[in-house]
Amino acid sequence: MKTVFQHIEHIHGKPHHIRKQVAFSAAFAVAALIGLSWLVTSTASGAFALTESSFADASGQGVEVVDAKSPNQNLAGAAAAFSDEASAPARIEIVDTAPASGKKAEPTVIPF
């Protein structure tokens, strides 16, 4: 059986296209081995597992609607910060309820 150094010396005697093919094959094999080990490790640890359908369901938070036209509109952030679920991560969803204006937007022209 040949040692690694004897095999390398044998490859040195081959034409350039054979040496290039051996080099790319070895690089592909090493990359495939690394990718396969990453995939097996990630699958075994449950990194790809999907348990809930949305972020709100996963965090256990409901949707809180704060009317921006109320007299206390500047307190919307404070109301969200001091909700009942203070231990859960904060989430603010802004919903625009203003009617669309009748004015049409003009197309943008970009000269070249």
Report domain extents, the chain: 4-45, 50-96
Rounded to whole angstroms, how far apart are CA atoms 17 and 78?
Answer: 69
Q: What is the mean pLDDT of residues 28-47?
A: 92
pLDDT at 107: 75
94: pLDDT strictly greater than 80 = no
Q: What is the mean pLDDT of residues 22-44?
A: 95
Q: Phi and psi (nearest 5°) for 4?
A: -65, -40
29: pLDDT strictly greater than 80 = yes
15: pLDDT strictly greater than 70 = yes
Using CA atoms, how far residue 38 sits from 30, 34, 43, 99, in Å, is 12, 6, 8, 51
pLDDT at 40: 92
66: pLDDT strictly greater than 90 = no
pTM for the model stands at: 0.41
